[in-house]
Amino acid sequence: EPHLTFMRETMGIMQHHDAVTGTEKQKVALDYAKRMSVAFRACGTNTRSVLNQLSTNEGAQPGRRRRSAYPFEFKSCSLLNISSCSVSESNEPFAITLYNPLAHPANEYVRVPVLGYNYVVTDYNGAELNTQVVPVPAGVSKIKHRASVAKYELIFLASDLPPVGYKTFYVQKSDTDRGHMNPSSAPRKT
Amino acid sequence: SSLISIGNKDLQLLFDTNGFLTEIQADGMARTISQEFLYYVGAIGNNEEFLNRSSGAYIFRPLDNKVYAVATQVDVEVYKGHLVEEVHQKFNDWISQVVRVYRDKPYAEFEWLVGPIPIGDRKGKEIVTRFKSDIQSNGVFYTDSNGREMIKRKRDHRDTWNLKLHEKIAGNYYPVTTKIALEDDTARMAILTDRAQGGSSLEDGALELMVHRRLLHDDAFGVGEPLNETEYGDGLIARGKLHLIYGQPIQKAIERQTQLETLLPPWRFFSSMSAYTVDEWR
């Protein structure tokens, strides 16, 4: 509850006319950004707790011992807009969970920052999805304070996300060379 | 052909040899369109006179009503696959963009990256992106009201008094929360934004939106400091998306649907799976 209340209070502050229009002093803008960041981080604990309760792996594998109370991280990556995410940029397999806040099904092209271009995306049925890889745009990779090693964005279509519900996808590096996915730009025509 | 094209079965975008967008094919039409980045130089005023204030946090006020182009040629790279086709454009050292069309989406996405805006010439700059079509809009365009109904705007006009505009650019700018659009009997062009922006239609068939600004003088309306965000070093870099929807004038349902999906996208959560194989995860 205190986490949610901090977000509520922050959202209250963000209704001030200076916050809405951007006419606050620079120091105040920095404070707004800090409050929003803390509020999102605090509420991340709530979403992690809820999603772990919804997606418990007991039952699916009888007798399997749970590794911890909250086995999955369900981390938010707030710098995805500049193709940066510590989880997807590691060499480990990872899962991406998409929660659809709309009251109707949605289809979403998901873009995930990754290190290479040989990846397999699997849905909950075990079906392998079509994927595509494109390079992170040069303008983004040159951003001075972007602490990211991702060179590519992995793209796949998350179709039929249920209304106010979620789907999860498993992403892993492929052992076999999927060289056909190596993105190369079309030759410049003159 | 010297043209670059990207698209899907419903929508095609063509680019000229200089790297600029030049044509759109959608809804059975092939129409002329262009898109570029421009900037206004912020006015420097005498803040003691009410009608002669500087451009600042509260007001947009370009110097001399002039606009400047940022590039005459764009470096491009084209990537085509079975899910998305995209053109990476570099306009200059501080403006770049990705234009993309997904396989089964009815819109084109323009993901812009602007900044840090250079101020070495001691001039404040306000950067806009302008889409220019051949639609005969007769000065009429529409902006939304907080994502709800659309409000009709007419260039150089107010409904309830005879208007004499002294500042033709700033006087025609309106707030845009999610959408700006114009149309004629044959075609309609709508641009959806991902954040509140200023926007206008300064000539028939053209829509423009302000994407970033950096100013060196306070406008004396209260904030007491210029809009010059140097806390992170060289000034801020901003990145955002515009969605262009083009078609017959009746296609507004697509705009509403796209508006919902882009403003309320799925939340993403990442979990390391180093301890689980794909079968264990399932």
Looking at per-residue pLDDT, the higher value among B134 and B275 belongs to B134
Contacts of B276 in chain A (CB under 8 A): 93
Return the pLDDT at B245: 97
pLDDT at position A65 over 60: no
Which is more confident, B1 or B26? Answer: B26
Computed over every residue of chain A, the mean pLDDT equals: 89
Our CA-based measurement puts residue A6 at a distance from the nearest CA of chain B, in whole angstroms, of 20
How many CB atoms lie under 10 A from the CB of residue A29? 16
Contact at CB, A183 and B79, closer than 8 angstroms: yes
Residues of B in contact with A114 (CB under 8 A): none
For residue A36, give how far its alpha carbon lies from the nearest alpha carbon of chain B (Å).
Answer: 16
The answer to whether residue A38 neighbours chain B at the CB level (below 8 Å) is no
Query: What is the mean predicted confidence (pLDDT) over A170-176?
Result: 89
Provide the ipTM: 0.92
Percentage of chain A with pLDDT > 90? Answer: 74
Q: Which of A22, A72, A128 is nearest to B197 (CA)?
A: A22
Distance in Å, alpha carbon of A83 to nearest chain B alpha carbon: 11
pLDDT at A34 (0 to 100): 96
CA torsion, ordered B7, B9, B10, B13, to nearest 10 deg: 20
Q: pLDDT, tens digit, for every residue of B37-59?
A: 999 999 998 777 767 789 999 99
Count how many pairs of residues, chain A against chain B, have C-beta atoms within 8 Å: 173
How sure is the predictor about B2, in pLDDT bands with cuts at 50, 70 and 90? Answer: low
CB < 8 Å to A61, chain B: 280
CB-CB under 8 Å, A77 with B270: yes
- CA of B277: which chain A residue's CA is closest? A93
Q: Give the pLDDT confidence score for residue A63 in this predicted structure.
A: 46
Record: contact A97-B232, CB cut-off 8 A: no
Q: Which 3 state secondary structure label does DSSP give A50?
A: helix
DSSP string, chain B: ---EEEE-SSEEEEE-TTS-EEEEEETTEEEEEEEEEEEEEBP---TTSTTSPPP-SS---BGGG--EES-SS-EEEEEE-SSEEEEEEEEETTEEEEEEEETT-SSEEEEEEE-PPP-TTS--EEEEEEEEE----TTEEEEESTTSSEEEEETT-BTTB----S-TTGGG-EEESSEEEEE-SS-EEEEEESS-EEEE--STTEEEEEEEEE-SS--SSS--S-S---TTSS---EEEEEEEEEE-TTTHHHHHHHHHHHHSPPEEEEEE-TT--HHHH-
Q: Is pLDDT above 90 for B251?
A: no
How close does chain A come to B264, measured CA to CA in Å?
7
- What contacts B145, CB < 8 A, 6 or more positions away? B151, B177
pLDDT at B143 over 50: yes
Residues A22-48: tens digit of each pLDDT: 899 999 999 999 999 999 999 999 999
Show residues of chain B in contact with A75, CB under 8 Å: 269-271
- From the list A48, A102, A140, the residue facing B260 with the nearest CB is A102
**Contacts with B, A 118-157, CB within 8 Å:** 122, 124, 126, 130-135, 137-140, 143-145, 155-157
Residues B60-77, mean pLDDT to the nearest whole number: 92
A80 and chain B in contact, CB less than 8 A? yes
Per-residue pLDDT at A186: 63
Residue bearing the bigger pLDDT, B229 or B89: B89
| Interface contact A22-B281, CB threshold 8 A | no
Q: For chain B, what is the mean pLDDT? A: 93
Specify the residue for token string 């670059």: B4
